[in-house]
C-alpha cells in the first residue's frame, strides 16, 4: 500500500485527483473506466477534479463510470439516491456522457437479477481502471458490512445498525434510511486495477488502523485491500491517529519524494 498522511481533506484531494489524472492519461483515447463512490469522503476529490476539468482541461469525455452501490427501494431520481448524488456532486459538472455513468438500479423489480447483471456490465466494459473508496467507521467498503465474504460479488445486502445511524444524517430520521442496498462485493472491488481509499476524521481512525495494520478478516471488510497490488490510502492526521507505524509511513513517503525512482538507472 502507498500510504499518504496529509494535513486535511483538501491536501488529500490533490493526491487522489493526481491518481485520477494518471489513470485518465494511461487510458488514452479509449477512455478510462472509473469506479465511483458516494458519501462525504470523495467530495473534495470530485470538487478538485471539476476544477481541473474547468481550469486545466482535464477531460473525461471518453470515460465510463460505475457506482459502487445504491439503496434498494430508492428510485434513481430520489434526492438521497446515489444515482442522483454522483450527478449533482460530480458527473454533471464534467464532460462525461451521462449515459456512461452507471449505477445499480435500486428500484429494479428483481434486485437479485439486477445485482448479477451489474458485475456482467462491469466485465463487459473491460473492468474498472481506478476505484475510489471511502471507509465506514465499522470498516465497510461499499456496503460490505462486517461478516461479508471476502470474495463476495455484487449482491443485495442488509445494512448494519451503525451504518444506518451514520447515514441517517442525510435523511429526516433514521427510520427513513433504507435497510438494504445493492453493493459491489469485496471480490468485485478487488478486480479494479487500481484502488484509492480516502478517509478523514477521528471516527475513521479505528477502521483505518485495521485496514492498514490489522489481520485480514471479514470483521473489518476493508482489510481485504491488503491483498490488492495497487492501493493508495490517503488519510488525514485524525484518521491516522491509531496507526502504530504512522511515522514509518511518513518516512517512506518522504524518502520517495526526495529520491524519485529513475528507471533509466535501474
Active site residues: 69, 138, 140, 145
CA-wise closest residue to 93 among 46, 29, 25, 134: 46
H/E stretch holding 207 reads helix 205-213
Biggest CA–CA distance in the chain, Å, is: 61
User: How many residues make contact with ligand F6R (CB under 6 A)?
Assistant: 15
Residue with cell 452501490: 69
Residue showing the smallest CB distance to ligand F6R in the complex: 134
**Residue list 38-57, contact with ligand F6R (CB under 6 A):** 38-41
Closer residue to ligand F6R in complex, CB, 63/167: 167
**Within 10 Å of residue 185's Cβ, how many Cβ atoms?**
24
Closer residue to ligand F6R in complex, CB, 50/132: 132
Indicate whether 13 belongs to the interface with ligand F6R (CB under 6 A).
Answer: no
Rounded least distance, CB 41 to ligand F6R, Å: 3
Closer residue to ligand F6R in complex, CB, 66/82: 82
Kindly compute the dihedral angle of the four CA atoms of residues 22, 142, 222, 186, in this order, to the nearest 10 degrees.
Answer: -90
Indicate whether 69 belongs to the interface with ligand F6R (CB under 6 A).
Answer: yes
Closer residue to ligand F6R in complex, CB, 60/66: 66
Rounded least distance, CB 120 to ligand F6R, Å: 20
Rounded least distance, CB 198 to ligand F6R, Å: 8
Closer residue to ligand F6R in complex, CB, 62/191: 191
**Residue list 115-154, contact with ligand F6R (CB under 6 A):** 134-136, 140-143
Indicate whether 185 belongs to the interface with ligand F6R (CB under 6 A).
Answer: no
Query: Which cell is 180 given?
Result: 438494504
**Options 21-29, 33-41, 122-130, 185-193: segment touching ligand F6R (CB under 6 A):** 33-41
Q: Which residues touch 9 (CB under 8 Å, ≥6 apart)?
A: 44, 200, 236
**Within 10 Å of residue 202's Cβ, how many Cβ atoms?**
13
Query: Which cell is 153 given?
Result: 460479488
67 touches 82 (CB < 8 A): yes
Question: What is the Cα–Cα distance from 140 to 148, expressed in whole angstroms?
Answer: 9
Binding footprint of ligand F6R on the chain (CB under 6 A)? 37-41, 68-69, 82, 134-136, 140-143
Amino acid at each position: 500500500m502507498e500510504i499518504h498522511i496529509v494535513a486535511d481533506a483538501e491536501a488529500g484531494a490533490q493526491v487522489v485527483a493526481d491518481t485520477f489524472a494518471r489513470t485518465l492519461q494511461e487510458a488514452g483515447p479509449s477512455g478510462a473506466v472509473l469506479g465511483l463512490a458516494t458519501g462525504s469522503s470523495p467530495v473534495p476529490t470530485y470538487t478538485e477534479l471539476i476544477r481541473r476539468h474547468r481550469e486545466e482541461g482535464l477531460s473525461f469525455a471518453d470515460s465510463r463510470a460505475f457506482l459502487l452501490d445504491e439503496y434498494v427501494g430508492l428510485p434513481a431520481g430520489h434526492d438521497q439516491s446515489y444515482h442522483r448524488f454522483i450527478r449533482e456532486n460530480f458527473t454533471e459538472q464534467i464532460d462525461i456522457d451521462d449515459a456512461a455513468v452507471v449505477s445499480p438500479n435500486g428500484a429494479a423489480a428483481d434486485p437479485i437479477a439486477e445485482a448479477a447483471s451489474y458485475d456482467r456490465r462491469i466485465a463487459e466494459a473491460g473492468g474498472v481502471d481506478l476505484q475510489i473508496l471511502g471507509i465506514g467507521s465499522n470498516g465497510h467498503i461499499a456496503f460490505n458490512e462486517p461478516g461479508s465474504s471476502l470474495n463476495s460479488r455484487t449482491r443485495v445486502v442488509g445494512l448494519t445498525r451503525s451504518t444506518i445511524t451514520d447515514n441517517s444524517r442525510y435523511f429526516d430520521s433514521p427510520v427513513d434510511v433504507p435497510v438494504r442496498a445493492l453493493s459491489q462485493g469485496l471480490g468485485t472491488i478487488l478486480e479494479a486495477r487500481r484502488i484509492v481509499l480516502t478517509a478523514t476524521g477521528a471516527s475513521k481512525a479505528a477502521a483505518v488502523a485495521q485496514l492498514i495494520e490489522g489481520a485480514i478478516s471479514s470483521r473489518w471488510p476493508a482489510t481485504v485491500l491488503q491483498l490488492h497490488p495497487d492501493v493508495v490510502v490517503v488519510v488525514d492526521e485524525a484518521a491516522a491517529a491509531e496507526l502504530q507505524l504512522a511515522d514509518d509511513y511518513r518516512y517512506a513517503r518522504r524518502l520517495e519524494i526526495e529520491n524519485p525512482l529513475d528507471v533509466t538507472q535501474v
